């Protein structure tokens, strides 16, 4: 995909430096964005929360470095993003927020994926805006020259390009179909996960950066959520340009069963996803060694781009 500076400039004219923008499909809403959940706060978080809290991996900063820690997060702040106004968040997701989830309903599956895509688009745009702000500040302070290449300038440009590509992905595969009321263009694979109690929830758009199609990197939407005390669903969603390569990359998950399938799904989550929450009751069964090993593995995926090791402690279920 070739992107002109003018195309990127036009996109970023639609958002402001505070990034309080409703990213509804037409990108024309002027209402203030609110804190919306990417994982359903009612039925899903109800099943995994304890005393109104869930466990999530969060950065912890010190003078020397950044660490990743498992932290207890209040349910009203867990997995939220400020990417839609209250009016659009309510209207768009009403079919899945006011009725039980129906895995046979293409609209329900589409909206489940759309919510994850909106959350990821907001996160990527916010990062792009912050990087651009840091770069402008460095230029204004004379740290970087405006007419010379710099690491901060390259980072800002790369983030803007990623942001634009993600916006185009949503626009072409989700926004247009949503406005037209067409939900059949996104395909889904659904896995049933059986468990003694709800353990985990995931909402994410991620990419296989090593795989390329005509539109760029291959993207997959993953949602994992309990539908009862004994069953969770893992829903993989794909645009038409991504589905064949994505399914091949996910072969070990899609074509396995039981404990091995849960294990491979766990490693995928730790390798590629940061927006997931764990039941505190389930987390309390983990040993200190397991917690330490998972934190180290997750940190290495971010800091060093290392793959999560093949070890029994990587099992999240």
pLDDT tens digits, one per residue of 8-18: 555 555 444 44
Structure token pair of residue 275: 């927006």
Q: Write down the pLDDT at residue 144.
A: 83
Are 137 and 26 part of one and the same domain? yes
Taking residue 11's Cβ as centre, other Cβ atoms within 10 Å add up to 18
Domain range enclosing 253: 187-314
Nearest-CA neighbor of 219 among 232, 208, 233? 208
Q: Do 16 and 120 sit in the same domain of this protein?
A: yes
Domain count along the chain: 2
Together in a domain, 114 and 263? no
- Residues 212 and 289 both lie in one domain: yes
Tell me the pLDDT of the chain averaged across its residues.
Answer: 90
Closest residue by Cα to residue 132 from 8, 217, 302, 31: 8
Per the model's pLDDT, the better-predicted residue between 79 and 249 turns out to be 249
What's the whole-number mean pLDDT along residues 163-171?
95
The band of 215, judged by pLDDT with boundaries at 50, 70 and 90, is confident
Residues 138 and 287 in one domain: no
* pLDDT score recorded for residue 62: 59
| 139 or 268, which is more confident | 268
Bridge partners (DSSP) of residue 59 are 68
Q: Which of 154, 163, 153, 152 is nearest to 128 (CA)?
A: 163
> What are the φ and ψ backbone dihedral angles of 159, each rounded to 5 degrees?
-65, -35
Among 149, 180, 211, residue at a domain's last position:
180
On whether both 160 and 218 belong to a single domain, the answer is no
Which of 161, 180, 199 delimits the end of a domain?
A: 180
pTM higher than the cut 0.95: no
**pLDDT surpasses 80 at 212:** yes
Identify whether residues 31 and 168 lie together within a single domain. yes
Q: Which of 180, 204, 224 is the last residue of a domain?
A: 180
C-alpha span between 215 and 89 (Å, rounded): 28
């Amino acid at each position: 995909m070739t992107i002109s500076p003018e195309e990127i400039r036009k996109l970023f004219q639609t958002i402001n430096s505070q990034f309080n923008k409703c990213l509804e499909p037409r990108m024309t809403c002027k209402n203030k964005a609110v804190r919306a959940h990417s994982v359903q706060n009612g039925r899903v978080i109800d099943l995994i929360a304890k005393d109104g809290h869930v466990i999530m991996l969060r950065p912890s900063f010190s003078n020397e470095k950044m660490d990743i820690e498992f932290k207890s997060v209040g349910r009203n702040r867990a997995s939220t993003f400020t990417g839609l106004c209250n009016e659009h968040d309510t209207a768009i997701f009403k079919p899945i927020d006011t009725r039980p989830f129906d895995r046979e309903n293409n609209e329900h599956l589409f909206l489940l994926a759309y919510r994850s895509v909106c959350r990821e688009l907001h996160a990527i745009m916010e990062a792009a805006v912050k990087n651009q702000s840091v770069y402008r500040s460095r230029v204004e302070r004379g740290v970087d020259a405006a007419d010379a290449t710099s690491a901060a300038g390259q980072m800002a440009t790369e983030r803007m390009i990623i942001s634009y590509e993600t916006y185009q992905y949503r626009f072409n595969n989700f926004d247009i179909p949503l406005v037209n009321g067409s939900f059949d263009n996104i395909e889904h694979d659904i896995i049933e996960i059986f468990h003694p109690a709800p353990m985990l929830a995931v909402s994410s758009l991620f990419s296989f950066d090593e795989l390329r199609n005509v539109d760029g990197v291959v993207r997959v939407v993953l949602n994992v959520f309990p539908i009862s005390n004994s069953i969770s669903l893992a829903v993989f969603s794909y645009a038409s340009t991504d589905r064949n390569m994505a399914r091949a990359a996910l072969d070990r998950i899609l074509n396995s069963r039981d404990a091995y399938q849960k294990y491979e799904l766990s490693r995928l989550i730790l390798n590629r996803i940061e927006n997931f929450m764990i039941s505190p009751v389930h987390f309390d069964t983990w040993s200190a060694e397991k917690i330490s090993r998972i934190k180290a593995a997750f940190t290495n995926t971010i800091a060093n781009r290392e793959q999560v090791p093949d070890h029994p402690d990587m099992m999240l279920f």
